[in-house]
Structure 1
Amino acid sequence: MVLEESTRELERGDTAPDFELPGADGETHTLGDFDEYRALLVVFTCNHCPYAQAKMETLNELTALYDDVAVVGINPNDAEEYPDDSFERMQELVADGTVDYDAYLRDESQDVARAYGAVCTPDPFLFRNGDAGFELAYHGRFDDAHGPDQRPSGEAGFEMAGAIESVLGGVPVDQQFRPSRGCSIKWR
């Protein structure tokens, strides 16, 4: 099912909800593990959704391009109903290099996805590391490609890169909220 995410729990300036989640790298990760970064991109994603798959390379590229931005994928999907979203499959994708983010985490309880207000995969949240911790700077789509087989319309169509550049430049993100598009999160 294709879903265009349209509701938001977090507003710009809100602090990132904390988490403690197992990673596909065998470590447990918390929000505080990323404190040394100037920005944090949290993306609720999964293994099986074609929209999420289409953004895996984009996330790998952002990870490689921005040393000051931690890119963290969080998979909240019900793996019993969707076995391709299992923790073991996450580990395989990390091991073979398909996923090369700073961390790929499993939200088995789905509590973290609920705290962020995530509704689809992928659903990206960009945070600035401010005085009060990580503060939401932008929540919305990566780019203007509407389907998994489409490409962004060019540099201007790649909104997330512009938002990251704004955060790293110390200026407010001027992009308006544009909903992400993808498969609905598979709630238990």
Structure 2
Amino acid sequence: MRLVTLMAFAFIAGTALAPAGEFNSLINIGDPAPQWDKLIGVDDKLHSSSETNDYRAVVVAFTCNSCPYAGDAEDRLVWLHENYSARDVAIVAINVNTIDEDSLEAMKQKAIAKSFEFTYLYDETQQIAKRFGAKYTPEFFVLGKADDDGKRNVVYMGSMDDSPDGKNVTKPYVASAIDAVLAGKSPEITETVPIGCQIRFKRERRTRKPKQLAPVK
């Protein structure tokens, strides 16, 4: 009985201390990817991750208008969609910043100016970025094949490639990860440092618990 108790304790402790990624403090490669529901898009429609169930792979890109690094990645996002959409790969861009420059209306203008044909979503609650452990724009997550329940595992996360400004790219991390998934393999490089601007998370107010007064004797 004591041995069983110790084994159970060890399992719980190991689960609680399960490592996150090398550069992501929340999730690791192979973890189930967070799902989203009813996020407004630049098309004024509500979108959920279930829309991607039939795709062979999904790229989730956290981006925005206000970050120059994200701006430098826009043409490469367009390239990903143009080169992989016919191969059943979904590109889903998500913005969670709440400043005026990153508003939904500003996103719509950007989508028109850059001819975005991929899904571009807005989450003013910022919860989807928190669930992914995303902290920067741009930051990318490649998700593998969906199971029967529509759930996918994270197979790559980090930067799009080894060139923040898109010049002289020698290691196309995201594209290589997609190619691996389509070939039924695991990517050779699964995690890199995301380089960009910090996501502008709202400050959460901490509520102080009232002090407990000592009982009068």
Please give the range of the TM-score, normalised by the shorter of the 2 chains: 0.7 to 0.9
Q: Determine the structure 1 residue equivalent to 2:163.
A: 145
| Aligned equivalent of 1:52 | 70
Which runs of 5 or more residues in structure 2 are unaligned?
Answer: 1-21, 203-217
TM-score (norm 2): 0.76
**Normalized per residue, which structure has more helix?**
2
Cα displacement string for residues 150-186 of structure 1 (whole angstroms, at most 9, x for unaligned residues) = 51333xx212111110011110111042111000001
Identity of aligned residues (%): 34
Residue number among 93, 96, 117 corresponding to 1:73 in the alignment:
93
In the alignment, the residues of structure 2 paired with residue 163 and residue 152 of structure 1 have an alpha-carbon distance, to the nearest angstrom, of 19
Letter in 2 for 1:123: E
Equivalent pair of 1:76/1:185 in contact (CA under 8 Å): yes
Which runs of 5 or more residues in structure 1 are unaligned? Answer: none
Tell me, yes or no, if the aligned pair for 1:22 and 1:29 is still in contact at 8 Å: yes
Measured on the aligned residues, the alpha-carbon RMSD in Å equals 1.6
Alignment TM-score, normalising by the size of structure 1: 0.88
Correspondent of 1:127 among 143, 147, 158 = 143
- SS at 2:80 equivalent: helix
Q: What displacement does 1:99 show?
A: 5.0
Count of aligned residue pairs for this structure pair:
176
Does 1 or 2 have the higher relative contact order (CA < 8 Å, sep 6+)?
A: 1
- Is the CA contact 1:25–1:94 (under 8 Å) kept in the aligned structure 2? no
Mapped partners of 1:112, 1:123: distance in 2 = 13
* Higher Cα radius of gyration: 2
SS in 2 for 1:134: coil
Q: Judge conservation of contact 1:152–1:158 (CA < 8 Å) in 2.
A: no
Contact 2:64 / 2:137 at 8 angstroms: preserved in 1? yes
Moved more, 50-59 or 176-185: 176-185
| Aligned CA distance change for structure 1 residues 99 and 108 (closer, same or farther; 3 Å) | farther
Give the secondary-structure state (helix, strand or coil) at the position aligned to 1:91.
Answer: helix
Q: Which residue in the other structure is 2:32 paired with?
A: 15
Deviation at 1:101, TM superposition (A): 4.3
Residues 103-122 of structure 1, C-alpha deviation per residue, up to 9 Å, x if partnerless? 10001000111000000000
Q: Which runs of 4+ in 1 moved over 2 A?
A: 5-8
Instruction: Give the letter aligned to residue 76 of structure 1.
Output: V
Q: CA deviation at 1:140?
A: 1.5
Structure 2 residue corresponding to 1:186, chosen from 193, 200, 211: 200
In structure 1, the partner of 2:123 is: 107
SS at match of 1:88: helix
Residues 42 and 121 in structure 2, CA contact (< 8 A), matched pair in contact too: yes
Counterpart for residue 213 of structure 2: none
User: 2:185 matched to which residue of 1?
Assistant: 171
Q: 1:130 deviation in Å?
A: 3.2
